[in-house]
Amino acid sequence: MKSQPPDSSGFARLFSSDYLQARSRFTLAAEGLGIPCHRQSIPHPLAGPDGERLSLDYAWIGNPDAPRVLVTQSAVHGVEGFAGSAIQLDQMLERSGQTLPGELAVLHIHAVNPHGFLNCRRVNEDGVDLNRNFVDFSQALPANPDYDLLRTSLIPENLSDWERASKRLADYERDWGSTRFHQAVSGGQFNDPQGPFYGGAKPAWSREVLEGLFVDLKLASRQRIAVLDLHTGLGPYGYGELICDHPPGSEGVKMARRWYGANVAEPALGTSSSVPKLGLIDFAWQRAFGDRVCFLTLEFGTYPFAELMESLRRDHALHKSFSSQTEPGQLEQVRQSMMRHFNPPATDWQEAVISRSRQVIQMALDGLSSEELK
């Protein structure tokens, strides 16, 4: 592996070594802002294996009644929280002491999925992909028949069948083409609780907390809301893609284009590293705030999709199907491989993440400020 340049920018130091450190640094930074900030910690019902306290934390910075609000979310996919938390910490440290205009507030939501963050997994405490959980559970759940065909190849019955299963997956991808294959695997599924990209059978704890915040923070009374949901693991190494899942031609897309220009990629048009997906967290914000919200995912690429799949398949296999055969060393190995894929220990990558996030967040703030208020 190429040797890494030293941390001359200081950006690498923003990346915490684990969830507990990330939460404590978030809390300290919010307390040390030197400007009005309302901070709250919402305890998770479960503790970590060593009794660690888990929570979703948020910091509301600026005027509580501001009509324009910038929101950042980290760790919707737990293990991706290292970068998201570093970005939020950077924002708070960089802007410490700087008063915001009265019309503007910033809301950082830290560790939306704290259990996944602590355990270096994408999914939550129930094996649910929170970013597929925002469907209407009172209706028939969406089907993904292509996933059902792949299911036993993704997570085979026995570890000894791993190589053959991987070969079958490669054959599917060759026969179906990349888009259909990616949609089958990662588009979301509701039939296989042990598999990846499982959307769950009911609203997750994190979803209920987030939708509670919509009410508690009176977000419906705001005139413009810019959300940046911070993710990692998909797309070219070090590049931060702005993914827009507002319906093509909608006001959300138009706002995204006004604020972020040609940076915006749209899965529905095939211009993104991502394919269209079911049950995204985006849809909760779009349903609640309509044309007043511009929700974008800021997704930082790391390594190729094939490596993502290998790490994810092993993570799910070891935690579920093969748990009786799993040795502690194997779990640690898979944890390391998830960490490496979603949080590369490389100063060049970390520097790219922080630089790009500063650029995108400034575009969001400028965009919000440029919109006329009624």
Binding residues for Zn ion, per CB under 5 A? 77, 80, 231
C-beta of 62: minimal distance to Zn ion in Å? Answer: 28
Query: By C-alpha distance, which of 291, 301, 304 is closest to 353?
Result: 301
| Edge-to-edge strand list for the sheet holding 264-265 | 37-43, 55-62, 104-110, 68-73, 224-237, 293-301, 240-243, 264-265
C-beta of 80: minimal distance to Zn ion in Å? Answer: 5
For residue 41, the number of C-alpha atoms closer than 13 Å in the C-beta half-sphere is 14
Nearer to Zn ion among residue 67 and residue 187 (C-beta): 187
C-beta of 21: minimal distance to Zn ion in Å? Answer: 21
Pairing verdict, β 104-110 and 224-237: unpaired
For 298, the token pair is 């800021």
Supply the DSSP string of 81-147, one letter for each residue: HHHHHHHHHHHHHHTTTPPPPTTEEEEEEE-SSHHHHHHT-SS-TTS--GGG--S-TTSPPPP-HHH
Query: By C-alpha distance, which of 44, 52, 51 is closest to 126?
Result: 44
Question: What does each C-alpha distance from 112 to 18, 131, 225 come to in angstroms?
Answer: 15, 11, 18
Q: Say how far apart CA 221 and CA 218 lie, in whole Å.
A: 6
Nearer to Zn ion among residue 224 and residue 357 (C-beta): 357
Nearer to Zn ion among residue 115 and residue 231 (C-beta): 231
For 370, the token pair is 């440029």
Nearer to Zn ion among residue 132 and residue 231 (C-beta): 231
C-beta of 157: minimal distance to Zn ion in Å? Answer: 28
C-beta of 278: minimal distance to Zn ion in Å? Answer: 14
C-beta of 340: minimal distance to Zn ion in Å? Answer: 16
C-beta of 372: minimal distance to Zn ion in Å? Answer: 33
Nearer to Zn ion among residue 67 and residue 301 (C-beta): 301
Considering only the C-alpha atoms of the chain, give the largest distance between any 2 of them, rounded to a whole number of Å. 64
Nearer to Zn ion among residue 54 and residue 76 (C-beta): 76
Nearer to Zn ion among residue 80 and residue 125 (C-beta): 80
Name residues whose C-beta falls within 8 Å of residue 158's C-beta, 6 or more positions apart in sequence: none
C-beta of 231: minimal distance to Zn ion in Å? Answer: 3
Nearer to Zn ion among residue 77 and residue 277 (C-beta): 77
Q: Are 132 and 188 in contact (CB under 8 A)?
A: yes
